[in-house]
Homo-oligomer: A and B are copies of this chain.
Amino acid sequence: MALVSETTTRMKGGLDLGGTKVQAVVTDGADVVLGQARRETPRRGGPEAVMLVLADAMRAALDDAGVEAMGLAGIGIGAPGAIDADSGTVLHVPNIDGWDDPYPLGPALAEELGRPVRIGNDVNVAVEAERRFGAGRDFESFLGVFWGTGVGGGIVIDGRHLVGRGSAGEIGHVCSKPGGRRCNCGLDGCVEAYAGRGALEERARELARERKTVLFELMEKRGRDRLTSGVWLRALQARDRVAEELIQRAVQALGVGIGSAVTLLDVEAVVIGGGLGERLGPEWLARIEAAGNEHTFFRTPPTYRLAELGDLGGAIGASLLE
């Protein structure tokens, strides 16, 4: 009996809270996923509704693993926005409607599931997962770039996360073009203003008024209401000119930001993840590498790798929170 109890208490739960989906995993305490489940992030009901969906996703992942909640040593949540890890409070989430005030997500979920809950930044936990189990495992230092709806980043130096005053790594808001396109954050010319999927879609809608593109056709065919990474990939495969131009422009912006970051940080590697990064794959990774090297000061540029943990990386990383 002692042995069983010891084994079970090493298991952990991880939750990745995204703007469109919630991903839950139950792991062996490291990178073996014993169970998983996915839910849509509720568009209404504010933080309480989100908390209940997180609990539901975790219960489904526990079912999938054949484990009781009490079998988990703890649960971690990777959340976007501003976080107070000590109190488990999420202060504000820009991408979730109605989440404008601080909400004690950690304590509320701990009460709901009866297990201790930790909260961390969604990008940081994904970087930690890649550091320990993924594309970053061979390197003492790397820059993680998560290219999705936004462009998030995390920095590992000497095997440790660089946090600065708490929020280091915002590569999406490095200036890629002074005086350039206005970003959602209010600054001009950010990497994200050219490369984020949100900005790409906005620009595609503008261009679609004047030019032919299959982007929105593909979107409707696939039953989506926005240009997902899969839609962009199909459009590129169909040699859609608008898609090619916009993604190439995104790659240039990523190159400026990544090259500048490498010049500052002198890291061994750059790891590209996120929905678009992973979906577009090795061919576009090579283009990002070429664009990054155009702005890299050092004679020996870093190694470029795709993130390896895919959709589950954020949840696995969250499960590692302690």
Contact = CB atoms under 8 A, between A and B. Distances in A.
Given A264-B261, A267-B164, A177 B178 contact: yes
A170 B267 CA distance: 12
Nearest to A253: B178
Interface string A261-275: 101111110000000
A170 B259 contact: no
Contact of A175 (B170, B259, B265, B298): B259
A176 interface: yes
A268 B153 CA distance: 19
Main secondary structure of the interface of A (DSSP, over half): loop
A265 B141 contact: no
B187 A264 contact: no
A173 interface: yes
A221 interface: no
Nearest to A291: B178
Q: Which of A141, A162, A177 has the most CB of B within 10 A?
A: A162
Given A141-B165, A164-B267, A174 B260 contact: yes
A250 interface: no
Interface in A57-74: none
Given A175-B259, A178-B252, A297 B170 contact: yes
Contacts of A265: 162, 164, 168, 264
Number of copies of this chain that the complex holds: 2
B171 A264 contact: yes
A155 B164 CA distance: 11
A295 interface: yes
A263 B177 contact: no
A166 B141 CA distance: 11
A263 B297 contact: no
A20 interface: no
Contacts of A297: 170, 173, 185, 187, 190
A68 B263 CA distance: 42
Given A187-B295, A297-B185, A264 B177 contact: no
A218 interface: no
A169 interface: yes
Nearest to A267: B164
Nearest to A264: B261
Nearest to A259: B175
A157 interface: yes
A166 B295 CA distance: 18
A163 interface: yes
Given A175-B295, A187-B295, 9 more contacts: A141-B164, A141-B165, A164-B267, A165-B298, A168-B264, A171-B264, A174-B264, A175-B256, A188-B294
17 contacts: A157-B157, A162-B162, A164-B266, A164-B267, A165-B300, A168-B264, A168-B265, A168-B266, A170-B297, A173-B297, A174-B260, A175-B259, A175-B260, A177-B178, A185-B297, A190-B297, A260-B260
